[in-house]
Amino acid sequence: MAGIVACAWTLAREHGIAGVSLHALAREVGIRQPSLYEYFDSKHALYDAMFADGNRRLVERLDTTTFSREPRDALKQWLAVFTAFAGEDPARYQLLFQRPIPGFTPSRESYAPAEEVLDRAVTLMRAAGVTGPGDIDCIVAMTAGLTEAQLSNDPGGNRWLRHLDRLVDLLVDDAIARGGPNGT
């Protein structure tokens, strides 16, 4: 099954995430389309497997990174790893973070690694002094916005992502100045 998912990612990179077809996938892996149903009962099941695979890869990347002991620096490093991961594969970014497939909702099992990723980010934010839910949302939204701007307007460059550390400092300083947990 991992080989089929890897092939699906290749097709997604060539044709966009919504352009992955079961017919083309079956052809690429050398089987007849009905045989794919032994592995995936629908196209959404394939997307679910891809979603889980992409998030597991992000968890693996985070696990292989050594972060600073200083909380704010660790948060900046974590966000830099996240945005670099997103920029490496726009098709993967699209499936994991944009929800481009009408009617597709990841299963609880495939969503678990995504929750782990967010929980890790929130833990780092809290350690850095960002404890209010609204302040946490602002850092998540700022990161998503910078990533989206980078992918859309300067793929492979750093026009927007070069501002990540400065914006983290601004948001963390603001959250701490307003008293932390009351950020809404």
The CATH number of the structural domain formed by 2-177 is: 1.10.357.10
Helices (H), 90-163: 90-97, 108-127, 133-153
* Amino acid 179: pLDDT: 81
Half-sphere exposure of 101 (CA within 13 A, CB side): 26
Q: Which residues does 96 contact at the CB level (< 8 Å), separation at least 6? A: 51, 54, 55, 58, 114
- In the numeric block, the tokens 């700022």 are attached to 142
Q: Tokens in use for 115?
A: 């929750």
- Each residue's pLDDT expressed in tens, for the chain with a length of 184 residues: 899 999 999 999 999 999 899 999 999 999 999 899 999 999 999 999 999 999 999 999 999 999 999 999 999 999 999 999 999 999 999 999 998 999 999 999 999 999 999 999 999 999 999 999 999 999 999 999 999 999 999 988 999 999 999 999 999 999 999 985 555 5
Q: What is the pLDDT of residue 112?
A: 97
Calculate helix-pair angle for 2-15, 43-63, nearest 10 degrees: 100
Rounded to two decimals, what is the model's pTM?
Answer: 0.91
